Amino acid sequence: MKILAHRGYSANYPENTMIAFQEAAKMAIWGVEFDVHLTKDNQLVVIHDESIDRTSTGKGYVKDMTLEELRAFDYGSWFAPEFAGQTIPTLAETLAIFKSTPFPINIEIKSDIFRVSRH
């Protein structure tokens, strides 16, 4: 059986955060999986949802914010108080964690397709 760390070590750490990826890199797993979204200023960030509402102290869509704006929010305290202060990681930062591991990396590129209602 091949075990993938889904969104990092998301069972014990806030998903898609540096701590979740750092801890996953220490595990005896087969690989890692995560999603990326494009920010308003064309940066690739690692987050599952189109919005930051569920996993941060902020509200809004990734596509509508710059990396600097996204990093103003906390991405760890929703999971547990001891993870307060986690920021949204970039793709480059996340890949750097796994550079020295043998793990295959499965990256899902999100398209952020939004339906426009017509009246």
pLDDT, tens digit, for every residue of 62-93? 999 999 999 999 999 999 999 999 999 999 99
Catalytic pick from 6, 40, 63, 71? 6
In angstroms, how far is CA 38 from the centroid of its own chain?
A: 12
Asked if residue 31 lies in contact with residue 106, where contact means CB atoms within 8 angstroms, the answer is yes
Beta strand pairing call for 44-46 and 105-109: unpaired
The rounded distance, in Å, linking the Cα atoms of 53 and 107 is: 22
Catalytic pick from 29, 40, 44, 48? 48
Considering all CA atoms of the chain, what is the largest pairwise distance in Å, rounded to the nearest integer?
A: 53
Q: How many CB atoms lie within 10 A of CB 80?
A: 11
pLDDT, tens digit, for every residue of 5-34? 999 999 999 999 999 999 999 999 999 999
Residue 119 falls in the annotated catalytic set: no
User: Which tokens sit at 11?
Assistant: 């069972």
pTM of the model as a whole: 0.90
